[in-house]
Amino acid sequence: MRGAVAGPAVVAAVLVTALALVPSALAAPPSPSPTPPPTSQDPTSQEPADEAGSLVARIATAKSALDRLTADLGKRQELANRALADDTDARRRADDARKAAEESRRSADAAAVAAERARADVDAWITAWFQQADVLGPLSVLSGSSGPDDVAARAHLRDVVTADQRAALDGAERARIEAANADSRARAARIVADEAAARAAAARVAADAELARVRTDTDAQQAQLRDLTAQRDAAEARLRDLEDADPALAAQRDRAEAFDAAAQARDTARDARVRRAASAGLQARAARSVPGAVDPRAAADDPLADAGISTDGMSDEVRQVLERALSQLGVVYAWGGGDEKGPTLGIRDGGVADQHGDYDKTGFDCSGLMIYAFAAAGKELPHYSGYQTDAGQHVALEDRQPGDLLFWADDDGQGPVHHVALYLGDDQMVEAPESGKTVRITSVRFDDEIVKTVTRVV
C-alpha cells in the first residue's frame, strides 16, 4: 500500500476526492443514514503514506454518506411534492364542484320562479273563466244569439279560451315538474360540492403532514450532518498539513485543481452553447409565426444539431420540447418552482429547500421543468414526477428516444417515484437535480433506482 499511495496516480486521486467533496458536502441537508465509524487509530502514529490512504477512505466514506443523506431527503421532498399536487388538484375539483352547485341552485331558483309565474297565469285564467261564464258557458252560446252565425262565433271563442286554458295548465304542470327536478339537481350538486370540499380539506391535512415529516427529518439530521461534516473537515485539514510538508503532493493538488477547472469550463461553455442554440430555435419558431418577420434559422444550421443532439427522424413536437428544456440550462433549482410559462418562485418545505432559500428563488424543480418543456407541445402535466409517469405511453427503457421522460423510484425502481428527467439521446439527459444546483445536462444514471420504462408524451 505504501508504494501505491506514493505513486502520482493515487496521490492525485486523494486530492481529486478531497476537492470533489467540498461542493457536495455543502449541498442540500440530507436525511438519515448510518454514520461512518470513526477511525480508532491515531493518524499521527501512521506513516505519511499510510495516513494518506486512511484519509482517502475517510473522505470517500463521508462523501458517500452525505450523498446518501442528500438523495434520501430529495426523495422525501418529491413525495411532499406529490402531497402538494394532490392538494392543488383537490382544491381545483372542490372549486369546480362549488361553482357547479351554485349554477344548479341558480337554475333551480329560476325554474321555481317560472313555475310560480305559470301558476299565477292559471289562476288568472280561472278567475277570468268564472267572470265570463255567462258569456262563454254552454247555455249562453245559444241564448240571446241573433242567429246561426252568432252561435258559431260564440262557440269558436269558447273553444279558443278552453284551449288557452289547457295550454296554461299544461305549462304550469311542466314548470312545476322542471322546478322539482332542478331543485333535486341542485341538492345533488351541493352534496357533491360538500364531498369535494371534504376531500380538499383532507388533502390539505395530508400535504401539511408530509411537509411536517420533511421538516422533522431535517431537524433530526442536523446532528448527524454536523458529525459527518466535522469528519470531512478534519480529514481535509490533515491532508492540507501533509501537502504543506510535501511539495510533490502540493504540485499534484495544483494539477488536480487545474484539471477540475478545465472540465468545469468545458461544461460551462457547452451549456452556454446549447442554451443559445435552443433559445435560437424557440425564437425562430416564434418569428415564423409573425407574417413578414425574418426567420433567424434561415441562414443557420439546425440549433439542436449545432448543440450535438441528433435530430434524425425527430418530430417537430419533440424538437420544441427539447428546445424549451435546454433553453433553461443554468436556471437555479427552486423546490415547487416552474409552470407552463417558465420558472416561478419556489415554495417553503420547512426543511432542505428552506435552508437553500428556494422560497426566495425563481427556478424549477424536476417536475416543474417537465411542465414547462411539454407545454411547448400543448401537453399539460401535473406537478409531481410520480403522476407524470402516466402522462403518456409506457415504453421499455431500452427503447428510449429523445423526448421521453426518465424516472427514478425507491425499492429498485418499483416504489414511489422521486425524480424525473428528459432524455436527449446518446444516454444524455436534462434535469433540475436538487436544491443548491441548476438545470443541467448530464449522463443518464443507470442505477438500481431507474424505472425500467419511460413515458412517451409526444
Q: Highest mean pLDDT: which of 157-166, 291-300, 446-455?
A: 446-455
Q: Highest mean pLDDT: which of 170-179, 352-361, 441-450?
A: 441-450
Q: Quick one: pLDDT band at residue 21, thresholds 50, 70, 90?
A: very low
Q: Between the CA of residue 241 and those of 8, 327, 340, 345, 417, what are the distances in Å?
A: 18, 44, 52, 44, 44
Angle between helices 247-288 and 316-326 (to 10 degrees): 130
Please tell me the predicted confidence (pLDDT) of residue 253.
76
Please tell me the predicted confidence (pLDDT) of residue 139.
47
Tell me which DSSP letter residue 451 carries.
-
pLDDT at 283 over 80: yes
What is the CB neighbour count within 10 angstroms for residue 448? Answer: 9
Burial of 147 (0-12, 13-18, 19+ CB in 10 A): exposed
Tell me which of 383, 419, 434, 449 is the catalytic residue.
Answer: 419
pLDDT at 330 over 90: yes
Q: Is 173 one of the catalytic residues?
A: no
The larger pLDDT score, comparing residue 217 to residue 192, is at 192
Q: Is 317 one of the catalytic residues?
A: no
Tell me which of 210, 431, 434, 449 is the catalytic residue.
Answer: 431
Q: Highest mean pLDDT: which of 159-163, 275-279, 368-372?
A: 368-372
Collapsing DSSP states into helix, strand and coil, what is residue 394? strand
CATH number of 317-456: 3.90.1720.10
Average pLDDT for 228-243: 79
Residue percentage of the chain with pLDDT more than 90: 23
Query: Partners of 344 in the beta sheet?
Result: 363
Please tell me the predicted confidence (pLDDT) of residue 219.
64
Tell me which of 366, 383, 418, 434 is the catalytic residue.
Answer: 366
DSSP string covering 80-122, please? Answer: HHHHHHHHHHHHHHHHHHHHHHHHHHHHHHHHHHHHHHHHHHH
Average pLDDT for 140-152: 53
Please tell me the predicted confidence (pLDDT) of residue 20.
38
pLDDT digits (tens, 9 = 90+) for 337-369: 999 999 999 887 666 677 778 888 999 999 999
**Domain parsing of the chain, residue ranges:** 1-245, 317-456
Q: Is 366 one of the catalytic residues?
A: yes
Write out the H or E segment, with its range, that includes residue 454.
Answer: strand 453-456
